[in-house]
Structure 1
Amino acid sequence: MSELEMGIKNVSELLEKLKTHFSGKIVRKDLTKKIKEGANVPVYVLEYLLGMYCSSMDQEEIDAGVQNVKQILAENYVRPDEAQKIISKLRERGSYTVIDKVSVKLNYKNDIYESEFSNLGIKNVPLAEKYVSDFERLLCGGIWCIVQMEYFYDEADKNRCPFIIRKLTPIQMPSLDIDEVKSARANFSDEEWIDLVLRSTGMEPSQFDKRVKWLHLARLIPLIENNYNFCELGPRGTGKSHIYKEISPNSILVSGGQTTVANLFYNMGSKTVGLVGLWDCVAFDEVAGIKFKDQDGVQIMKDYMASGSFSRGKEEKNAYASMVFVGNINQSVDVLLKTSHLFDPFPEAMSNDSAFLDRLHCYLPGWEIPKYRPEYFTDDYGFITDYFSEIMRELRKISYADAYDKYFKLGNNLNQRDVIAVKKTVSGLVKLIHPDGQFTKENVEEILRFALEMRRRVKEQLKKIGGMEFYDVNFSYIDHETFNEDYVSVPEQGGGKLIPEGMGKPGHIYTVSRGKSGMIGVYKLEMQMTAGNGKFERTGIGSDREAKEAVDTAYRYLKANGKNISGSISTTTKDYLMHVQDLNGIGMTKRLTLPTVVAICSIALHKPALSSAVILGDLSIGGTIIKVEELANTLQVCLDSGAKKVLIPITSAVDLGTVPSELIGCFNIIFYQSAEDAVFKALGVD
C-alpha cells in the first residue's frame, strides 16, 4: 500500500471513530473558515450555529446547513453599520431575533438590570433578573447571545424603553458528559488525540513537527488548569493571542494593556468581583503596554498569581482565573540573550521585578512557532469549539499534579515555586492528552521533561536579572527504579559554550567582568606578535577611554617588569597587536589590565593558557592586585560560559563564603598573589 493510500485509510478510520464517539459534536473546520471571512464573529459563535445545522457527514445536508447558517447570520447577526436597519425591522415587525454581544449593569436608582447591545448600539434595555443570576458574565464584559426581541412604544409612558427582551440564549453548548469524553479517549491513539485537539483549535497538525504540536498544546494549559501563570513572547504572526480571543467563550483578551485593579480584581464601590472572578483565563495582549492606573496594581497581581487570592478592603477573595501574558520580541533571541534577558519586552515595573516573574509557571518559546501561512489552518474535522471549551472547563475541576510521583522525583535544584510550576504544567498536559487519566511511564516522562524546560526558561532569565538568588537552574528528575538522574536544558542556551574545551592558541585569554551595560560577561583577548620596535596597538575597544587606559597600563607594566617574568619577553624588538572581543555584547569592560599582561606573556613565550581557563581580578597602575567584584555572580557566568578552571586573586578568598558550595565544586580554583604569579599559573609554568 502506498504512503498516500495509507494516509487516506488513516483519515477515514479517524473519521469513523469521530462519527461513532462524538456524533453531533464535531464540525468541518473549512466551513468555519468560509463563513468567518464574511462575518466578524468569534469562532465559537459560528461553530455553535454550525453544530446545530452542519454536524452531519452527508455533503448535501452540510451544504443545506451552511446555507442556513449564512442566512441566519445575514438576517440576525448585527453588523455595526447596519444597526439602524435592524432596529427599523424590529419596529416594523414587532419582533426580531438578533445575534449580538450583550453586557448588563445594575441601575441601582431604579433597581433594575439594564442591558447594552454591542453592535446594535442600544442601551438601557431592561432584562429579567433570572438571566443575570444564571449567566453572571453578562455583568463583566458581556457574552454573545441569541436574543428574541420585541418592540412596544407606549404613548402613555414615553420614558419607558420600547425594546423588550423576550428570550436570551447565551451561545454555549447545552450539556456535557465528561465521562463520555473520558471513555471515548481510549479509542484514539496519543497522536490521533493530539491531532484532534489541535484541529479543534483550527490548526492543521500535519504541517507541524512534534515539538511545534506540543508548543500549541501548551497554549491551552491556562484554559484547562486553574490559576496557571503563562507567558509567551515571540515574533508577530504566530497566533499568540488567537486561542484566547477566538477559541473559548471562557477566556477574555485584554487588549491595549491599560487596566485597573477594580476592573481586574475587585470594585470596592460596587462590591463586584472583576475579571479574574468571572473568566477562566485573563490574557493580556502586547505585554509591553500593560499599565495599571493604580499604584498597587502589580503588587496585587503578584499576590493573586502566587496564591489565587487577593485582598481588597476588609476581606480576602479567591478566584481561579489563569493569567496569560503574550507579546512580541522585536529582535532575534540570540541578540536578546546576549544583551539583555527574555523578559525585556515587559514594562519596566514587571521586567525588573524578579518576585513577579518568579510567579510565572511557564515561558513558551514563541520564536519556535513558525509564522502562520494559509496551509497551517485545517479543513478537517475537529470538536465544535464550544464543546471543546466545555470539556476544558470541566477538566479544571480535577488535577493530575501528582501524575509523575509514581515513577519520578524532582532533583534538588528545584525550589517550592519551581515544583508548583512543574506540577501545574504536568497536570495541564495530562488533562489535554490523557483526560481519562490513563498514561504510561514514557508518556508522563515526556510531559515532565517539557514542564521542566518551560519552568527552567523562567529561572534562567531570573538568574540574569536577580543574580545568585536564582543560581540553581540545573533542573533534573530522578527515576525511582534505576535512580538515574536526567538533566533538562533549554534549547536557546545552546550547547556551544563561549569558552571552548581543549588547549587554545598562545595569546588567547578569557576573562569575565562587568561591562558598560552593568551586566557581567565574557571577554576574549587575542594577541599577535611580529618583529618590530616595540609598538603596541589594540582593536575592538572602540572609543572606550577606560578600556584603552587599562590595556596601556598593562603594556607599561610589562615594560618595567617583563624581565621578572622571562628574559624572552621583549618590548623593544617586537610589535604587539591585541584584539578584544565582547562575547556577550554587553559593552566593553575596564577590567583588562591583568588579562592583557597574561595575553602578551602568552604570545611572547609561545605558551597557550590552561584549557577552559578564565582569569579573574585585575591590576592597578601601581601594581596592586584588585580583587573580584561580585564573586558569586561572576563565577556563575564562568560556569554558564563553559569555564572549568578559574584563576582568582588570593585577596578574593575571603569572598568564597558568599558562593554556594555546589558552584565552587564546579571549578578547579587556582589562587595567585601577584601579576607574575598569575602569568606563571595561567600558562602552567612551574
Structure 2
Amino acid sequence: MYDVDKLREYFPSTTVYKDPSVMSMFKAAKIESFLRDWILKRKTGVDGVIEDKDALSEYVASIIPQRSEKERLQDEARTEGETRFFLAKINISFNSNANYYSFEIPSLGFSHSQTIIEDYVWNRIKSELIGEAGGWGLVKLGYMPPEGNKKNGRFTLLDFKNFCPYKVSLDDFREARSHFETEEWMNILLGAIDYNPDGFMRKGWIDRDVWRAKHTMLTRLLPFIQPRVNLIELAPQQTGKSYMFGKISKYGWLLTGGQVSRTMLFLDRRSGARAKGLVTCNDFIAVDEIKSISFSNDQEMAGILKGYMEDGYATVGGTRVDGEAGIIFLGNIAYENMDSDKDMIGEINPIFRDSALLQRIHGFIPGHYVPSLSPNMYINDWALNSEYFTEIMHLLRSTSETMKYRGMVEELVDVSSATGNTSGREKEAVFRLCTAYLKLFFPHANSDLIHTLKFKQEFDRYCLTPAKTMQETVLKQMRFVNPGMFPDGNLGFSTYTVRWDA
C-alpha cells in the first residue's frame, strides 16, 4: 500500500475515499467510475464517508436519468420550457446542408434528427464541447415547437457544463509525482483505477509475481495515455479487462458483442451529416469478446483496419477519416494456451490469421499474469479520483507532450544494428510502448533525471523490457500465422538496450 497521508498532502483536492460498499452501489447501478467519483466528491464529508446512503441513492436517481425517463424529460422540456440539469454524454454533429449543429444522447434515445443547438447557445458552450465531438457533462434541454404547419419540432440544448470540479494541471501532477518512489507510485496508480495494491498476492507467489501482476494491470492504461497504441489481450475471464476499458474513462469506447462495421468505426456515408465514427472522437476503441464478435465484411474490415492502425487514417468512399484512437482487441482463451511460444491466435476470430494485420498491433498484454479478481483486490481507502486521473492521461496524449516524452525515449534507448533483423515497424512499436510507459510511471521525467543511473535502471524494468516482450509476442504469433517470416528464429530483440553510458 502507499502512505495515505502523503498522498492527500500532495493531491489535496483530487483524492476521494473509495468505500467498497458504496462503490458496489454504483456498480449495481452500472455507473462508470468517473461519474461515481464526481458524485462522491460532492456528497461526502471531509472524512470521505457517506453518512446517508439512501440520500445518495435518491441523488443518483435524480441526476442520472434512465432511458425509461425519456418521455418525462420530453414533456418537461415541452410544457415547462426546460428540464432540470442531468448528467449525460452528448455527441455533436454539424449539418452543413442545413447550417446548424445537432446533438444526440444515446443513453436516452435522443437522436440528431430530433435535436438542434441554436447559435446563441452554441457560441456560449462550444468551448466545453468542441474538439471532443461531445462529452460528459450536466445537460439542460428545451423544446422548439414546429414552425407554421411544418412538422419540425426539435429538442434544444439550453446548457452544458463540463463536470470537472477541480483544476487539472499537468505541471502540478508532475511535481506531485516527484515526491514518490516508483514502487509507491505504481500502487497509487492502482488505487486510481479502484484496485487495492495489497490484494494482488496469491498463495505461492513471490515479490516478482506480484510486481508482474500489478504492472500488467497498469499496462492496460497505455492506450489511455498515448495516441494510437494498438494492443491485444487474451486472458482468463474475471481479470477486469472489460471493466478497465469500459468503466474507467469517459474518453474510451468498449464494443461488446454483436457486429462491428466500417460505418460504426469510421464513417456513415448514408448520413446527411456524414457522421464520423468512433475512432474520430475517442482515445481508444476496445473490441471485447473477439472470439464471438462478427465483422460486417471481414475482408473490407481487415483492409481498413490495417490502413488505420498503421497511419492513423482510413479512406472511406473517397473521404479521409483521421483519428487518434488506439484499437484494442480483447478475448478469453484457455489458460494452458496463454504462452507466447504457442499459437494463441488460433482460437480467436479468423480475421487475425493475417500477419499484415498482426504487424499493426504494437503489443500483446500478458493478461495471464493478472489474478482473477477477488473482493480484497478492490480499494478500501483514500485514492486518486478516477475522473481526475483519466483527465490527466487524456491531456498527456497531446502532440506536444507525446513529442517531449518520445524525445526522451530516443535518448534513452539504443538500437543496435548488429543482427540486422529489426524493422522500422518493430522499432516504432517498442518506442511507442516505451513512450506510453514513460508517461504513466515517470510523468516527471526531464532531461536531467533521465541521465541518472537509478532512473535508467527503473526505465529498463518498468518501460523498455516490458515493451520489448509485448512486441516480441506479436512477432512470435505472426510466425505461427506465416512460418516463413522468421526462418532463423531470431527476432532481434537483444538489439534494444538502455544507453547506460550516455
Fold match (TM-score > 0.5): yes
Pairing partner for 1:443 from 430, 437, 458: 458
Residue in structure 2 matched with residue 430 of structure 1 by the alignment = 438
The 1:40/1:92 distance shift into structure 2, 3 A limit, reads farther
1:98 — aligned with what?
A: 86
User: Given the superposition, is the C-alpha separation of residues 425 and 290 from structure 1 closer, same or farther in structure 2, using an over 3 Å criterion?
Assistant: farther
- TM superposition score normalised by structure 2: 0.82
In the alignment, is the contact (CA less than 8 A) between 2:267 and 2:316 conserved in 1?
yes
Q: CA deviation at 1:250?
A: 0.8
1:226-375 equivalent positions in 2, closer than 5 A: 226-256=227-257, 258-268=259-269, 270-288=273-291, 289-293=293-297, 295-314=299-318, 316-330=320-334, 332-333=336-337, 341-350=343-352, 352-375=353-376
- Shift in Å, 1:231: 0.6
Q: CA deviation at 1:212?
A: 0.5
SS of residue in 2 equivalent to 1:231:
strand
Does the CA-based 8 Å contact 1:98-1:149 persist in structure 2?
A: no
AA paired with 1:168?
Answer: F
Aligned to 2:66: 79
Q: Mark the CA change 1:378 to 1:335 in structure 2 (over 3 Å): closer, same or farther.
A: closer
Q: Is the 8 A contact 1:96 1:150 kept in 2?
A: no
- Are 1:182 and 2:186 an aligned pair? no
SS state at 1:282 partner: strand
Residue type at the aligned position of 2:87? I
Cα gap change, 1:88/1:313 in structure 2, threshold over 3 Å: closer, same or farther? Answer: closer
CA drift at 1:404:
5.2
C-alpha separation in 1, matches of 2:241 and 2:384: 21
Whether the aligned pair in 1 keeps the contact of 2:14 and 2:166 (CA below 8 Å) is: no
Greater RCO (CA < 8 Å, at least 6 residues apart): 2
| Amino acid corresponding to residue 102 of structure 1 in structure 2 | I
Matches of 2:98 and 2:441, distance apart in 1: 51
**Alpha carbons 1:233, 1:364 under 8 Å: kept:** yes
Q: Percent identity?
A: 25
Question: Counterparts of 2:237 and 2:95 in 1: how far apart (Å)?
Answer: 42
> 2-side partners of 1:319 and 1:221: how far apart?
17
| Structure 1 residues without counterparts, runs of 5 or longer | 1-6, 484-686
Larger Rg: 1
User: 1:585-607 CA distances to partner (integer Å, 9 max, x unpaired)?
Assistant: xxxxxxxxxxxxxxxxxxxxxxx
CA change 1:258–1:119 in 2 (3 A) is closer
Could you tell me how far 1:146 is from its partner in structure 2?
Answer: 1.9
Q: Is the CA contact (8 Å cut-off) linking 2:298 and 2:351 kept in structure 1?
A: no
SS in structure 2 of the partner of residue 283 of structure 1: strand
Corresponding residue for 1:517? none
1:457 aligns with 2:473: yes
The 1:481/1:194 distance shift into structure 2, 3 A limit, reads: closer
Say if 1:466 and 1:263 are closer, same or farther in 2 by CA, change over 3 A. Answer: same
For 2:182 and 2:213, the matched residues in 1 are separated by 16
Deviating more after overlay: 24-33 vs 321-330:
24-33
Partner of 2:40: 50
Mark the CA change 1:320 to 1:465 in structure 2 (over 3 Å): closer, same or farther.
Answer: same
State the partner residue of 2:205. none
> Which of 467, 471, 485 matches 2:483?
467
> Normalised by the size of structure 1, how large is the TM-score?
0.61
Which one is further off, 193-202 or 69-78?
A: 69-78
- Cα 1:451–1:192 change in 2 (3 A) is same
Distance 1:191-1:161 versus aligned 2 partners, 3 A rule: same
Q: Flag the 1:267–1:472 CA change in 2: closer, same or farther, 3 A.
A: farther
Q: Structure 1: how far apart are the matches of 2:31 and 2:232?
A: 26
Distance 1:161-1:38 versus aligned 2 partners, 3 A rule: farther
2-side partners of 1:376 and 1:294: how far apart? 39
Matched residue, 1:135? 129
Instruction: State how far apart, in whole Å, the 1-side matches of 2:47 and 2:501 are.
Output: 54
Give the Å deviation of 1:183.
Answer: 0.8
Kept in 1, the 8 Å contact 2:340–2:473? The answer is: no
In structure 2, runs of 5+ residues without a counterpart are 201-209
Alpha carbons 1:282, 1:323 under 8 Å: kept: yes
| Higher deviation after alignment, 43-52 or 192-201 | 43-52
Superposed CA offset, 1:81-106 (max 9, x none):
44445556667765423233434455
Aligned residue-pair number: 464
Q: Distance in 2 between matches of 1:99 and 1:272?
A: 24
**Cα 1:101/1:480, change in 2 over 3 Å:** closer
Q: Deviations over 1:283-312 (max 9, x none)?
A: 111122241447432112111211223334
CA distance in 1, matches of 2:377, 2:225: 24
Query: SS where residue 346 of structure 2 aligns?
Result: coil
Superposed CA RMSD: 3.3
Q: 1:43 to 1:188 in 2, by over 3 A?
A: same
CA shift in 2, pair 1:47/1:360, >3 Å: same
Residue aligning to 2:203: none
1:362 partner letter: G
Q: Encode CA deviations 1:148-181: one digit per residue, 9 max, x unaligned.
A: 2356878987946475532122444564210011
Query: Are 2:158 and 1:148 aligned?
Result: no
